[in-house]
Amino acid sequence: SLSAYAIPRGLARRPVYNIAHMVNTIEQVDEAMRLGANSIEADVTFTANGTATWFYHGTPCDCFRWCDRHEEIPALLDYVRRTTSAADGKYNERLTLLFLDLKVTNVLPQYKYRAGVDIAEKLIRHLWSGVYTWNAMNVLLSIRSVRDGDVLRGALHTIYRIMPLMLYKTGKVWTPSLPTDRTA
C-alpha cells in the first residue's frame, strides 16, 4: 500500500477524483455515490437564447447508458445541496466536485454571455445559497471550445457580483474540440 513516505512531498494533498460520467438525474447521483464516485459530471443543456434548462446528454452517448435521462436544473442542484452541505447530509464529505459540461453549441452567439449568467444564477440560488463557503460544493465549469469563452465570462462575472467568495469554489476549463481551437 502507498504510505505518506512513498508519495512525493506536496502530492499527498492533491485531490483524486473518481468522476461518474453523465449523471443527469437524482437517481443517477445516488447510483454514482453507491458505486464509489466522489465527483459527478452532469450535462447542462441550454435554449438558443441562453437559458439553462435541463441536465441532459442525449444521443449518442456511452454504451449501455440511458442517453435520454434528464432532470430540471433546480431539482438536481437542490438535491446536491441538501445531501452535501449539511453536517448530516448523506453525501457530506463524500461528494466533493460537481463537474458541469455546458452544452452551448446551439446557443446563439449573442446569448453566450447570458448563458453563463443564467447557469451562475442557478448555481447561486439552488446550490450555494444559505451554505457556508467552506461547506459549499466545488464546481468545475467546462465548455467545448474557446469560442464559447463568453459563457465562462458571464458565469464568473455573475458569481463575482452576487457571491464572490464562491469563486474559490469554482474552476473552469475548456475542452479542445477542433485543432483550430488551440490557436483561437
What average pLDDT does the structure give for the chain?
A: 86
Nearest to 19 by CA among 99, 84, 83: 99
Residue range 94-111: mean pLDDT, rounded: 96
pLDDT band with cut points at 50, 70 and 90 for residue 171: confident
Give the DSSP letter string of 142-155.
EES-GGGHHHHHHH
- Quote the cell numbers at residue 164: 464572490
157 an active-site residue?
Answer: no
pTM for the model stands at: 0.84
Helix, strand or coil for residue 43? strand
Residues linked to residue 171 through DSSP beta bridges, in sequence order: 140
pLDDT band with cut points at 50, 70 and 90 for residue 64: low
Nearest to 174 by CA among 119, 110, 102: 102
Question: Pairing mode, if any, of strands 138-143 and 170-174?
Answer: parallel
- Indicate which residue of 57, 70, 126, 157 is catalytic: 57
Q: Reply yes or no on whether the pLDDT at 174 is more than 80.
A: no
**Cα 153 to the chain's mean position, in Å?**
16
Q: Reply yes or no on whether the pLDDT at 19 is more than 50.
A: yes
126 an active-site residue?
Answer: no
pLDDT band with cut points at 50, 70 and 90 for residue 39: very high
HSE-up of 4 (CA within 13 Å, CB side)? 2
> pLDDT tens across 126-168, in order?
999 999 998 999 999 999 998 999 999 999 999 999 999 999 9
Domains belonging to the chain, first-starting first, are 14-183 (3.20.20.190)
